[in-house]
Amino acid sequence: MNPEQPDFLERHKGKLGQDLENLTGQLLRLAELAKKALEDSLEALWRRDPELARQVMAGDKAINDLEEEIDINCVRIIALYQPVAVDLRQIMAVDHLIAELERIGDLAVNIAEEALNVSRMAPREFHPDLPRMARMVLNMLERSLTAFINHDVKLAREVCLADDEVDSLDRSIVHELVEEMAKNEAIPFGHSQLNVVRNLERAGDHATNIAEQVVYMVEGESVRHRCQA
């Protein structure tokens, strides 16, 4: 059969569409795992819950395994269908997104490790802006994933704008924690909080990277470091 015949092309397109739909489903499962890992690591921190922290750390393997599986599927789909234009950009965006999500899972593990450390310390109050920063980062991640699902460039750009506020909080919290630690006040606790802040800031960067990939996928233009424009 001539591969240029309409029936062949239509079947080819239909199979590609089904594989892209399955690929998106896998991505969303990975996103849910990474998002839950970050949420649980923060909950373990606030509650000083070592068991929940250990669950986050143990769950990282599932995130890594699924990331590898999706990466293999991206390569397979490109080799099998040789997609172009929007379809190719979607696959490339997925391949970038899974790397961002896997790193968010790693950051959740880092926070979970600090939750274990904090659980062994005498109870003290967290920096008052730390929970707000955590909520902002989780919101950025949620909105960047929603932007991907809905191909919503406007929402993606809003995520990029939110990263500026997260960066500002990062600087102010770090400055205040360092000042407190310089007075020899609760240095181990302050150090754990500093590590949490740094990991949250990086998670915000990864959420921004996801948003930038949404703009690329929809508009076909790379906007790295200028997604806000």
Residue 96 lies in a domain: yes
What pLDDT is attached to residue 11?
A: 52
Give pLDDT tens digits for 100-135.
999 999 999 999 999 999 999 999 999 999 999 999
Residue 67 lies in a domain: yes
Q: What angle in degrees, to the nearest 10, is found between the helix axes of 130-150 and 6-47? A: 170
> From CA 45, how far away is CA 138, in angstroms rounded?
15
What pLDDT is attached to residue 8?
A: 45
| Residue stretches of the chain with pLDDT short of 70 | 1-13, 222-229
Q: Copy the structure tokens of residue 66.
A: 């699924």
CATH classification at residue 34: 1.20.58.220
What pLDDT is attached to residue 91?
A: 94
Residue 20 lies in a domain: yes
Domain count, the chain: 1
Residue 34 lies in a domain: yes
Residue 1 lies in a domain: no
Residue 91 lies in a domain: yes
Give pLDDT tens digits for 16-30.
999 999 999 999 999
Q: What angle in degrees, to the nearest 10, is found between the helix axes of 85-119 and 60-81? A: 170
pTM given for the model: 0.90
User: What's the number of CA atoms in the CB half-sphere (13 Å) around residue 206?
Assistant: 27
Residue 56 lies in a domain: yes
Residue 224 lies in a domain: no
Domain that holds residue 112: 6-219
Handedness of CA 153, 155, 161, 166 (dihedral sign): negative
